[in-house]
Structure 1
Amino acid sequence: MSESTSQLTYIYKIVDGSVTIPLDVSSLPDALEVSDLDKNSGFIHLSTVPQVKGTLKHFFGTHERVYLLRIPFEPVESNIKWEDPKAEVCGNRDGEGMFPHLYNGLRLGKNEIDAIRVFTKEKDSSWDKALDDAQDWLIY
């Protein structure tokens, strides 16, 4: 891992914007439907702040809308395993370090999520511009 877990306040889940997720955390179910990738992996793929842009680039590059779910780290820390991304899936991700993977029975809902934000981008642009306005929301 590239940073000390004692410095982490939040970790993030990126969700395809084609699904519908309520923006009011209190309206969330106990467990959201997880992606096929998460189901097949047996854990929930998460990112730290420095990893969010790379994850968007490699897995959501063609999407025009995503949800970013902010998860307080301390309550889920005991269910996190820090693992190396598989280069065969998306290519080399040097410099991004180990990724947080949540092993808790694929449960991510109102008890784990602190805040939700929608991000959109133009069809052929990068996610960098969309995230520029989120620097105050993306908290380590």
Structure 2
Amino acid sequence: MPPSTGLAPPSPLPEFVYKITPDAPPAPIPEAYPLSDLDRQDGFIHLSTAWQIPITADLFFNNTPKFYILKLRLSNFDLQKVKWDEAEGTNGCPHLYGNFGGNDVVDVRVFEKSTAEQKWSEVLKEKDEAAWLV
């Protein structure tokens, strides 16, 4: 059983949560998604809500010129395994104590910076990207 964090989930719950990965996801996406070293080490999958994506990207992927975002339907998961943990600059990030697979992925998009100095929050504010993050 995942540890209790004391943070209540947001209300209403978001329809989607997102996974940022610097590597292209496998095609097709397997039933059990390959865990990152950080996810394996921490014992859960780091996810973000739509509004958290620019914060997460700027904090943890600042030096990454390109990454992929997997859009996951939150209702596909046992919500007892999704904990809302405190994280820098947020009101609580969703962490999945388990795994996801191809059936949970609604869409995948690649995002690229046009310059090394560009912030991810700028890239993600562009009209098409902002509309995709709901």
> Normalising by the residue count of structure 2, what TM-score does the alignment of the two structures yield?
0.83
CA RMSD of aligned residues (A): 1.9
Compared with structure 1, are the counterparts of its residues 48 and 2 closer, same or farther at alpha carbon in structure 2 (3 Å cutoff)? farther
Identity of aligned residues (%): 31
Q: Return the letter of the residue paired with 2:119.
A: S
Separation in structure 1 between the aligned mates of residue 29 and residue 124 of structure 2, nearest angstrom:
24
Q: Does structure 1 retain, via aligned residues, the 8 Å contact 2:8–2:84?
A: no
The alignment partner of 2:121 has SS state of helix
Structure 1 gap segments, 5+ residues each: 86-92
Separation in structure 1 between the aligned mates of residue 56 and residue 109 of structure 2, nearest angstrom:
16
Q: Aligned-pair distance for 1:120?
A: 0.4
Pairing 1:138–2:119 present: no
Q: How many residues align?
A: 124
Q: Return the letter of the residue paired with 1:74.
A: S
Q: Does structure 2 retain, via aligned residues, the 8 Å contact 1:14–1:68?
A: yes
Structure 2 gap segments, 5+ residues each: 1-6
2:117 corresponds to which residue? 124
Q: Aligned-pair distance for 1:62?
A: 0.1
Q: Does structure 1 retain, via aligned residues, the 8 Å contact 2:73–2:106?
A: yes
The structure whose RCO (Cα within 8 Å, separation 6+) is larger is 1
Which consecutive aligned stretches of 4+ in structure 1 deviate over 6 angstroms post-superposition?
none
2:50 corresponds to which residue? 49
Q: Aligned-pair distance for 1:130?
A: 1.6
Report matched runs for 1:1-140 at 5 Å.
Answer: 4-16=10-22, 19-22=23-26, 27-76=28-77, 77-85=79-87, 93-94=88-89, 96-104=90-98, 107-121=99-113, 122-133=115-126, 134-139=129-134
Q: Aligned-pair distance for 1:109?
A: 1.8
2:3 corresponds to which residue? none
Separation in structure 2 between the aligned mates of residue 79 and residue 5 of structure 1, nearest angstrom:
17
The alignment partner of 1:82 has SS state of strand
